[in-house]
Structure 1
């Protein structure tokens, strides 16, 4: 799990004050991170174009040019000149070294480095900046963003255009803007450049945002010898009008380790797998409940009286009863964006459009968590956001194969299964989300082809 920050100016200042590093030294180390990446991954006969801005992001780019000069065929392009003191200083040093400075963006470069704006972008791009970014995007080489792809603002939005990086090398620490859903299309792989001290020392301040890593996943492997099916919990899944959704959730829960899984519906579904039980009511030994998937009209009166751990999904986010469920402890809610907009409105937190939500997902997740700190929220998306007790966890590991009906039903079953096996609501959600995402990465057929049953099968074969 890695720390993620809103911005890192405070960390830079602390690094200078506590360890005696100067702005110049921080910049040398920032550029070194990019230079070492190139040295490790590209032969020295490659040509490099560095496009720099007027401020310190441009200065970083000039230092990269100086580091790689005479090792590679480096060209530097400064479409707006140099304005910040550090950028002017670094340009002077680069000229003394004889770095090639070009007057326009040409063709044929193997590597293109974007050092235009970085996290310094705080206003809309002008027409000339848009033109420069579009010219960089049109080039065919490997593209590297310095700190963050130019065109992405401080909350991760792209108003007009953004640099399309294959890799982003961000400076010092991870920034929240790198993990918006919109930014995911542009940032590529993300690496962190150290700034002259160990990352643990640089990241001296606490944060409320964390990036999940694949190594954080803890699968419910059975390590004890003396156990029985009751040792692994009993999940009840409400099967509503759209029976398939509830049945897929139940199958997922069973495959992920629950000792017993019961489908609850007025009539036994005709296609219920043999290993699943059926009941018309929720039993006294219910370890966890999953409801909402394909629910439609369903009598919720008995469910509202329960205090059992539960995961709530789909149709429940359009029903007033959700407000009563949110008062309970040990509850996980798993909306997709449209459902989350409805949930926010039903709870009278805020009435917003889907576009507004997607423009600042972190803010609205934080807002919900302030109102319901005891509830675990999982907001689905290109980057899954999980919130609990004023902290947000980012799961960036999923892939587009999950953009199919039934994927969310599988996730609900995974969470319910871990709840029944004794995981806390937060741990159940984090681990189920990681398993769900990692399985999508291991799918080997065409990206459009995965079915929920295939997803369940891959999850059953995951390794830590």
Structure 2
């Protein structure tokens, strides 16, 4: 798990004031990190195009040109000149070793480095910048972004386009703008450059974190005398579309629930033999999952009253975001996980009278909207699904960047509900169940060996057996 920040200006200032490291020293380390990456991954003699902007992000690129010149075929392009004091200083140093910027952009290069605008972009790109970034994106080269791909604002939104990097070398610490859903197709692999001190000293306090594959801890059974009663009993409410409940139930069973019962007002035909069914919540139930395929007219009065009475650990998903009585569950249950995708989340915010906001507005500031919901419902753990899923609870936010297009299939969300519901039934806290279930979900996608368009929900369920 790594720390995540809105920006690094305060962290840089702390370096100046506490450690005596100047802006120039930090810049030299930033450029050296990119220099080292290029040497380690590309070797000498490659042609390198560096496109640098007028400010300090551009100064990083100019400094990199100085470090590479002599061992690489370096072309520096300064479309807006060198304007900040550090950019002018670094360009004077570059001139002293015999390298000047070119007025024209070459047609090809082995490596392209984007050092145009960095993390401080606050307004839409002009026509010239849009055309330049478009040309860079169409070049067949290994592409490196300095700090953050140019065109992304601090929240990770393109204005209106962004450089598409194979790797982003971000300076000092990870920034939220690298982990928006819009940014996922632009940042490539993200690496952090130390700026003269270890990240242990550079980074300060934060309430936001990036989850890693190494954070996954599967629910392995270590007691040799265990039986099914030790691993919980999940009840899955089945509504208008029973298949969603079946997928959820099978995922829960595969992920370690001792028992799974589908709750339905009617008899369900052709169920997998491993699943049970009932018209009421069994006495042995330890958690309830509902919402998947529920339908917008569904109002399970008896089940709802039982849930509120017994305060079950509760997994809520999908259609329940549109139903007014979701509020009674969120206020009446103390151990709840809610797993909407952005459209469902927008509906939920409106249902709960928090705000009437569009999906696009949510996507522009996913961290902000997740935090706003959790401020209103502090006892609920939110799992806001997306390309970079966010888990939020009581002011803490965790982003899971491990998802892949394998998960963009019908039924994928039902599998996630089953994974989290299974852990709730097994006694995990809601936050831990949400984090571990989300990690399991994305690791299933990463380990799927077929074409990424071919995975079905059943394939994901089958893959759970290999997660340990």
Q: TM-score range by the shorter chain?
A: over 0.9
Q: For the residues of structure 1 that align with 2:141 and 2:125, how far apart are their CA atoms?
A: 24
Is the contact between residue 123 and residue 159 of structure 2 (CA under 8 Å) also seen in structure 1?
Answer: no
Correspondent of 2:322 among 313, 318, 321: 318
Matches within 5 A, 1:210-249: 210-249=209-248
Q: What do residues 11-33 of structure 1 show as CA deviations (whole Å, max 9, x unaligned)?
A: 00111111111111000001111
Q: For the residues of structure 2 that align with 1:301 and 1:310, how far apart are their CA atoms?
A: 16
Matches within 5 A, 1:269-284: 269-284=268-283
TM-score, normalised by the number of residues in structure 2: 0.97
Partner of 1:94: 94
| Range with greater deviation from structure 2 (20-29 or 132-141) | 132-141
Matches within 5 A, 1:27-426: 27-203=27-203, 205-296=204-295, 297-305=297-305, 306=307, 307-327=311-331, 328-426=333-431
Gaps of 5+ in 2: none
| Range with greater deviation from structure 2 (302-311 or 414-423) | 302-311
Q: For the residues of structure 2 that align with 1:420 and 1:447, how far apart are their CA atoms?
A: 31
Q: For the residues of structure 2 that align with 1:126 and 1:294, how far apart are their CA atoms?
A: 46
| Range with greater deviation from structure 2 (267-276 or 104-113) | 267-276
Q: For the residues of structure 2 that align with 1:136 and 1:102, how far apart are their CA atoms?
A: 16
SS of equivalent residue, structure 1 residue 220? coil
Q: For the residues of structure 1 that align with 2:240 and 2:132, how far apart are their CA atoms?
A: 54
Q: For the residues of structure 1 that align with 2:182 and 2:12, how far apart are their CA atoms?
A: 27
Q: What do residues 95-140 of structure 1 show as CA deviations (whole Å, max 9, x unaligned)?
A: 1011242111112200000000011211111111112111211211
Partner of 2:441: 436
Q: CA RMSD in A?
A: 1.0
SS of equivalent residue, structure 2 residue 164? coil
Q: For the residues of structure 2 that align with 1:165 and 1:346, how far apart are their CA atoms?
A: 39
| Range with greater deviation from structure 2 (55-64 or 297-306) | 297-306
SS of equivalent residue, structure 2 residue 340? coil
Q: For the residues of structure 2 that align with 1:61 and 1:86, how far apart are their CA atoms?
A: 11
SS of equivalent residue, structure 1 residue 293? coil
| Range with greater deviation from structure 2 (301-310 or 225-234) | 301-310
Gaps of 5+ in 1: none
Q: For the residues of structure 2 that align with 1:268 and 1:71, how far apart are their CA atoms?
A: 74
Q: Report the Cα offset of residue 414 of structure 1.
A: 0.6
Q: For the residues of structure 2 that align with 1:460 and 1:35, how far apart are their CA atoms?
A: 43
Q: Report the Cα offset of residue 151 of structure 1.
A: 0.3
SS of equivalent residue, structure 1 residue 101? coil
Is the contact between residue 280 and residue 303 of structure 2 (CA under 8 Å) also seen in structure 1?
Answer: no
Q: Report the Cα offset of residue 175 of structure 1.
A: 0.4
Is the contact between residue 440 and residue 455 of structure 1 (CA under 8 Å) also seen in structure 2?
Answer: yes
Q: Report the Cα offset of residue 304 of structure 1.
A: 2.9
SS of equivalent residue, structure 1 residue 398? coil
Is the contact between residue 74 and residue 100 of structure 1 (CA under 8 Å) also seen in structure 2?
Answer: no
Is the contact between residue 105 and residue 135 of structure 1 (CA under 8 Å) also seen in structure 2?
Answer: no
Task: Verify: 1:5 aligned to 2:5, yes or no.
Answer: yes
SS of equivalent residue, structure 2 residue 165? coil
Q: What do residues 410-431 of structure 1 show as CA deviations (whole Å, max 9, x unaligned)?
A: 1101111001111100000100
Q: Report the Cα offset of residue 159 of structure 1.
A: 2.5
Paired residues in the alignment total: 462
Q: What do residues 324-370 of structure 1 show as CA deviations (whole Å, max 9, x unaligned)?
A: 11112100000011100000001111101111111211111111011
Is the contact between residue 33 and residue 193 of structure 1 (CA under 8 Å) also seen in structure 2?
Answer: yes
| Range with greater deviation from structure 2 (154-163 or 431-440) | 154-163
4+ aligned runs moved over 6 Å, structure 1 = none
Q: For the residues of structure 1 that align with 2:187 and 2:459, how far apart are their CA atoms?
A: 29
Q: For the residues of structure 1 that align with 2:175 and 2:340, how far apart are their CA atoms?
A: 25
